[in-house]
Structure 1
Amino acid sequence: MIKMNVGIIGGSDGLGKTLIYYFREEFEVYITGTDHKKGRGVADKLNVNYIESNIEIADISDILVISVPIQYTSDVIREVAPFMKSGSLMVDVTSVKEEPLKTMQEVLPDTVEYLPTHPIFGPRTTRLDNQVIVLTADKKGEWYRKAYNYLSNKNMRVIETTAKKHDFMMSIVQVLTHFSFISTASAIEKLKVDLSETEDYESPIYNLMIDMIARIVAQNPYLTYNIQSMNNNGSKIRNTFAEAVNELKDVINDKDEEKFVKIANRATKNMGDITNALGRSDKAINALNYEYIILNNSIGQEVGLKHIYSGKIHTGILESVDGKTAVLREGSKVKKLRIANIRILHPEELYKWKIDNLNTVTQSISCVFSKRVHVETIENAVMKIDNIIDIRLTDVYAGPQIDDDFISLTFEVTTLTKEDIQNVKDLFTGFGGSIR
């Protein structure tokens, strides 16, 4: 079967690069980028195709994804529109929708369908399950149905709305929250506060808040600025936020407790289902605390720690948990891993990882037992020993060298290390056996 061609303009960075991981197994993927050396490197590493020209990629693509900075999106749409294949689809993935939609309406021929979208997740997202994507099509053709079904089959939460409503909602979800978070981070900087000094005074809620603020502030500042400046609702949102801050400031400075309480109560009522909000935040706090408890209880034991972004798994003896860092000894090496970036593997996960990634040891062990021994009991006991992969009976012998009331059993045992073989022998002798 010939794979459909998916072109990603801006596929060497950010969300465009992330999209490669989702598309490359099902489609023939082509990407462009402004830095051709970097783009070719990304394409080689991810086993996709690199094309230097936006026009050439438009000419061969069945689906063309525009994934460039917001301020360049309309220019790129105009650049490639005349070269789109008849019957193809253009998609953009920017976080403002009114301007790209207007441009597509103006410049694309009737033979090309267009679908303005907004995947509401960032480049660090590793799975599509339960992620939100917004579709803001003004017309729904054949491609729309295919795209909707494709996204639904990926277990994504698909929202259908207009570009105008999308941009208003994102003025709350992005413009207001980013503006308030960056304002808070800027105030902390102006106060010359060293956040590391606040650690001894941190509450779980403060931890979550600082982490969320840091996540926003750490984003590409040019992208954050363009989200602010290119949303048509941005000015009204920021002005309203500033008015709210000034009102609250004046109320507190004037020591007007009654008015403060009224403002707080009105704001609380407008937050909606407070019970659910408390439940969700409790879950987040408990998850953090639970992870620390598990790590602390695992000190001195073998653990597997998975980096949640790279997917790399580190195994070894957990030596200590110090604040925000887990210290792991891997053989002769000691590694320090940020707890925020790892999760501890369940014992079953660690066991499976060892089987899949470590060299195994297989050895035959012969042992003389009483004829009354129950073979299945021995095998079940062996399988409960750490690092045992398999055990099977390969020989039963009751020849002249074996006393009449005894029998020699030979088991083939597969383990993860040579040391585990000795543990099996110790168990056999514990059952009254005698190793031959």
Structure 2
Amino acid sequence: MKKIKIGIIGGTGGIGRWFAQYFQKEGLEVWVSGRRSGPDLPTMARECPVVIVSVPIAATLSVIEQIGPLMPEEALLTDFTSLKAEPVRAMLRASSCEVIGLHPLFGPEAKTLAGHNVVVCPARSRKWLPFVLDLFRKGRARIIETTPEKHDEWMAQVQVLNHLNTIAMGLALKRSGFQLAELLPVATPAFEAKVEWMKKIFGPNAGLYAQIITHNPFVEDVFENYQESLRELKKWIRRRDDEGLRKRIEQAGLFPAVRMKEE
């Protein structure tokens, strides 16, 4: 049986390279193109019935607009972007082929696919959806099917709010005047875990996190909610009202099954 060819635009680094290796292990023929290497877009569209766009968010729409019109009607165009609504709309608009939005919710440091979440957003798909689902199931991924719009709403909380919190903590530490070298010897496990996340966000991939935040259509709502939460906390802190703060934390009801034991 002839191997299915999968083309990955942006497959020379990050999650694109990770999946190139995964697909090869699953017996697929993988074509990879980077900024300065690999086949050009017309060749990839002609030779690969499945093409994945795996480039930075800011470049995604441009790449989709270039590759979309080249894709045969019986092919599949998909993407690994951290946002889904805008890229999926662009793929539908630029092509006549099948379209499925994908978002692997893990980074290239993962050892295997097993246990990791992958969001699947079918948009125009008949032939290729079973193939895509089976490909992830083989690796024992947890598959979540949803709409592109709902995905972006979820990611506003899961990614945008989370990363905003980490960035705010890093900037606050910088303003405090303390150096991490001074604080780490007295760190708790919780602080050490936060520092590890700050290393990722304040490191070479800062641009990735900046794009995840600023390109999400719900970012302003998330930011206003975050600011309002800080203003609310400020009331209790100014009054040194530990009892009021405790009650507010409990009233939030985030984990109703958990009952905090009174000290």
TM-score scaled by length of structure 2:
0.91
Give the 5 Å matches for 1:309-348.
none
What is the count of residue pairs matched by the alignment?
Answer: 258
1:148 aligns with 2:133: yes
Q: Which residue of 1 aligns with 2:120?
A: 135
- Which structure 2 residue ranges, 5 or more long, are not aligned? none
Q: Which residue of 2 aligns with 1:165?
A: 150
Secondary structure at 2:100's aligned position in 1? strand
Relative contact order, higher structure (CA 8 A, sep 6+):
2
Give the 5 Å matches for 1:68-107.
68-107=55-94
Give the 5 Å matches for 1:149-298.
149-218=134-203, 220-267=205-252, 269-274=253-258
Deviations 1:312-339 (A, max 9, x none): xxxxxxxxxxxxxxxxxxxxxxxxxxxx
Partner amino acid, structure 2, of 1:159: I
Q: Which residue of 2 aligns with 1:114?
A: 99
Distance in 2, matches of 1:258 and 1:271, equals 19
CA shift in 2, pair 1:176/1:246, >3 Å:
same
Compute the displacement of 1:92 (Å): 0.3
* 2:50–2:77 Cα contact (<8 Å) kept: yes
- Which structure 1 residue ranges, 5 or more long, are not aligned? 40-49, 276-436
Partner amino acid, structure 1, of 2:29: E
Partner amino acid, structure 2, of 1:57: M
Secondary structure at 1:179's aligned position in 2? helix
Distance in 2, matches of 1:23 and 1:54, equals 20
Q: 1:67 aligns with which of 54, 70, 75?
A: 54
Q: Root-mean-square deviation (CA), in Å?
A: 1.8
Distance in 2, matches of 1:219 and 1:145, equals 37
Partner amino acid, structure 2, of 1:270: L
Q: Which residue of 1 aligns with 2:6?
A: 6
Structure 1 vs Structure 2: percent identity of aligned residues?
29
Q: Which residue of 2 aligns with 1:28?
A: 29
Partner amino acid, structure 1, of 2:88: L
Distance in 2, matches of 1:189 and 1:31, equals 40
Give the number of the structure whose residues are more often strand, by fraction. 1
Compute the displacement of 1:59 (Å): 1.8
Distance in 1, matches of 2:254 and 2:45, equals 47
* 1:136–1:160 Cα contact (<8 Å) kept: yes
Secondary structure at 1:101's aligned position in 2? helix
Deviations 1:95-123 (A, max 9, x none): 100001111221211xx111101000112
TM-score scaled by length of structure 1:
0.56
CA shift in 2, pair 1:273/1:93, >3 Å:
farther
Q: Which residue of 2 aligns with 1:298?
A: none
Compute the displacement of 1:222 (Å): 1.3
* 2:121–2:146 Cα contact (<8 Å) kept: yes
Distance in 2, matches of 1:274 and 1:194, equals 36
Deviations 1:341-388 (A, max 9, x none): xxxxxxxxxxxxxxxxxxxxxxxxxxxxxxxxxxxxxxxxxxxxxxxx
* 1:30–1:57 Cα contact (<8 Å) kept: yes
CA shift in 2, pair 1:214/1:243, >3 Å:
same
Partner amino acid, structure 1, of 2:30: V
Partner amino acid, structure 1, of 2:122: A
